[in-house]
Chain A
Amino acid sequence: MNSPNGSPITDHRSPPLSPLGYPTNLLAGEQTFESVNETIGSIVLQDRQPRPWWIGFTIAFVLLMILLFAVSWLLVRGVGIWGINIPVAWGFAIVNFVWWIGIAHAGTFISAILLLMFQHWRTAINRFSEAMTLFAIACAGMFPLLHLGRPWVFFWLFPYPDTMKLWPQFRSPLVWDVFAVGTYFTVSLLFWYLGLVPDLATVRDRARKNWQKKFYGVLALGWRNSAAHWQRHQIAYLLLAGLATPLVLSVHSVVSLDFAVAQLPGWHSTIFPPYFVAGAIYSGFAMVLTIVIPVRKIYRLENLITMRHFNNMANVMLVTGLIVAYGYFIEAFMSWYSGDIFDQYMMTNRAFGPYGWIFWALMFFNVLVPQALWSAHIRRNLVALFLVALSINLGMWVERFVIVITSLHRDFVPSSWGMFFPTIWDWATLFGSIGLFLTLLFLFIRFLPMISISESREMVAEPQKAITA
C-alpha cells in the first residue's frame, strides 16, 4: 500500500471479501486523491456535456413546459379541469403528492440513517440521492398547493396573526402535513448544502475559468478546509443526520395519517404509518437506481459506484418490498377479520370492482416482479435491475392510485358512489412534474459535484474505513 498522492492504494487483484462473500472495497480500481478529484470535478468544470445529457435535458425541458402550460390553464379555469369530483375529490393531485414524497425518502435514508450506522458505502450515492430528495419534495409540495383550488392564498396554512383572527386547525393531520413537508424540505436542503460546501471549495480551486471561480467561490462561502471548519462541519453534519432520521420516519407517517385518521374504509387502518414508511424507502431506492444506472454509464463512474452499491440497494428494496407486501396482506386480512361489512366490501371492490385490474397490476409490479431480487444474478445485472426498479416506480404510483381512488369511489352509501376518470390535464400535470424533477436533476449533474469528493478522498486516505463498513 503506497501513499494516496500518486501511487495505488487499493489492491485491485484480491479485493477483501465480506462474510457474505462480496467484495468490500468501495472504490474500485486504483484510486488516488487526484483521480477522485478529476473524475468527479471534471464533470462540472468541462465545457461539453455528453450527448445523452443533452437528449435527456431536452426531453425533461419539454415535459417541464407541458407542466407550466397545464398549471397555467389550471390557474385560469380552476380544479374543474381535472377529473376530480364528489365522491372522488382527491384525484391525481394526492396520488402524485404521496408518490413524490415517497420517492423523496430514499435520499435522507441513504444520507442520514446509513451515515449513523457507519455504512460508508453510501458515499458514492448519498449526494445524488439527497439532490433527488430535494427535487422530489419540490414536485410533491406543488400538488397539494395546486389542489387547494386557490393556491395564491396558500399562506393561510401557516399560523400567523392574521386579520381574520383565525388559526390553522392544529388537530388536523392536513395541517401536520404542512409542517412535516416544510420541515423535511428545509432540513434536506440544509443537509445537502452543508455536505456540498467542501466540494464546492474543491471545484472553486480547480476551476480555471473566471466565471467558474466566481460562481463556485460564492457558493463555497470561503471554505478553507481548516481543522476548525471540519470539526464544526462534521458535528453539524452528524447532528443533522441524527435529526433527519426520526424526521424521515415522521414525514410519511404524517402523510399516512391524512388517510388513517379519516373514517373511510380502506383508509382507516393502523398499519398505515409503518407500511407507508417502508413503501417510501422502497420507491425511493427504486428511483435512485432508475437514475444512477444510466448516469454511471454515461459519466463512466464505474470506479466510484461499484457493483456492491447495486447489490446493497437491491437488498434494501427486497426487504422494504416484503414489508410493503405484508402491508397489503394485513389490509386484506383485517378487512375480513374486522367483520365490518363496509370494510369487507371495500376489499372485494378493490380487487374485483371496476378498478380491479389496477389492483392486480399493483400486485404484479410491486409484489411479484421485485421477487426477482432474490437472485444474485439479477442484482448484479444492471439491465434487469433497471427494469425491476422501473416496475417498482410504476407499482408505487399504482399503489397510491388504489388507496386514494378505490377507497373514495364507493363508501358507505351506494347512492353516493361514483367513478373517477383522469383528464388530459391530470396526465399533463403528472408527466409535467416528472419533467420538473428531471430538469432539476440534469442541471444538478451539470453544475454541482454529484458524488461527495471530500468523502471519496477520505476513503482513498483511509481504505480500512471502507473495508470495515
Chain B
Amino acid sequence: MKMENLFGLAAEFESHVDLLRAAEKAHAQGYRKMDAYAPFPVDGLAEALGKHNRVPLMVLLGGIIGGAGAYYMQWYANLVSYPINIGGRPMHSWPAFIPITFELTVLCAALTAFFGSLATSGLPKPYHPMFNLRQFERASQDRFFLCIEARDAAFDSSRTHEFLQTLAPLQIAEVPK
C-alpha cells in the first residue's frame, strides 16, 4: 500500500495485559501519534500512550459558572429587576437562594462533563479510518489493537512493521485511509 493511502499499522492482541505492555514499549520507542483500542477501559493504558485529559478542569469551570450564574440570577431578579417584599423577609434572603444555586451548579458541571468528554474525544464522528479494518469490529467485543499512525514522525512502514513484530501480536494489518 502506498504511503499516502496508509492511515497506520495496527497490531492485534489477545489480552489487555499484552496491549498495555505493547503500548508502553511503543511509547518508549518514541512513537507518539498512536492509539490503543480495547473493549473495556484498561487502567493506565491512556497514560502509557501519553494521552492527556482536560475533562476534570472543564467540569470544575462549568460548575463554578453554573453556580455563580444561578446565584446572580436570583439576586438580580429579587433585588434589581423586581424587588418584592414577601412576608417581611430580607430582600437578599440568601439561604433561600442556595437550593437553586446548588442545582444549577450540578446541572452545568454535568453538561460540561458530558459534552466535554465527547468533544475532547472528537465525537460524534461517523467515519474513521480504523473502521476500514475488517477485524476492528472485534475491538468492541473481545480483541485489543494498537495502531501506530502514519503521521507519526518516527513512522516508517517497514521499520514500524518490524517493531510491531517484536511485540508478538496475533497479526499486523495495514489500515487504509
Contact = CB atoms under 8 A, between A and B. Distances in A.
A454 B40 contact: yes
Given A171-B96, A204-B140, 13 more contacts: A5-B142, A171-B78, A179-B107, A182-B107, A183-B110, A186-B107, A227-B46, A231-B46, A232-B53, A232-B117, A243-B106, A243-B113, A244-B106
A426 B130 CA distance: 56
A236 B81 contact: no
B125 A222 contact: yes
Contacts of A34: 141-142
A461 interface: yes
A320 B127 CA distance: 48
Interface in A1-54: 3-5, 32-34, 37
B25 to A, nearest CB: 15
B56 interface: yes
Nearest to B98: A176
A55 interface: no
Given A171-B93, A240-B114, A33 B142 contact: yes
Contact of A225 (B38, B103, B124): B38
Interface in A192-215: 193-194, 198, 201-202, 204-206
A94 interface: no
B121 A187 contact: no
B42 interface: yes
A167 interface: yes
A228 B35 contact: yes
A236 B117 contact: yes
A134 B61 CA distance: 27
Interface stretch (A57-65, A138-146, A246-254, A372-380): A246-254
Contacts of B63: 243
Question: Considering residues A186, A222, A239, A257, which has the most beta carbons from chain B within 10 angstroms of its beta carbon?
Answer: A239
Contacts of A190: 110-111, 113-114
A461 B121 contact: no
Question: Considering residues A198, A224, A254, which has the most beta carbons from chain B within 10 angstroms of its beta carbon?
Answer: A224
Would you list the 3 A-B pairs with minimal beta carbon distance, nearest first? A236-B117, A231-B46, A221-B124
B47 to A, nearest CB: 8
5 contacts: A37-B141, A171-B93, A227-B38, A240-B114, A454-B39
Contact of A239 (B36, B37, B109): B109
A170 B39 contact: no
Interface in B98-125: 99-100, 102-104, 106-107, 109-111, 113-114, 116-118, 120-121, 123-125
Give chain A's interface residue range (CB within 8 Å of chain B): 35 or more
Nearest to B14: A5
A235 B16 contact: no
Contact of A187 (B51, B110, B117, B125): B110
B49 A227 contact: yes
Nearest to B48: A227
Given A34-B142, A180-B99, A224 B130 contact: yes
B138 interface: yes
A235 B117 contact: yes
A233 interface: yes
Contacts of B68: none
A186 B137 CA distance: 32
B49 to A, nearest CB: 6
A226 B117 contact: no
A165 B84 CA distance: 12
Contact of A176 (B35, B100, B114, B121): B100
A447 interface: no
Contacts of A229: 121, 123
A125 to B, nearest CB: 18
A301 to B, nearest CB: 19
B110 A186 contact: yes
Contacts of B36: 226-227
Nearest to B16: A461
B15 A461 contact: yes
A169 interface: yes
A230 B100 CA distance: 33
A91 to B, nearest CB: 26
A202 B51 CA distance: 24
Contacts of A179: 99-100, 103-104, 107
Given A225-B139, A234-B41, A170 B125 contact: no
A295 to B, nearest CB: 24
B55 interface: yes
A222 B137 contact: no
Contacts of A33: 39, 141-142
A5 B131 CA distance: 22
A250 B102 contact: yes
B65 interface: no
A228 B140 contact: no
B55 A236 contact: yes
Contacts of B86: 169, 171
A117 interface: no
Contacts of B130: 224
Interface in A330-348: none
B74 interface: yes
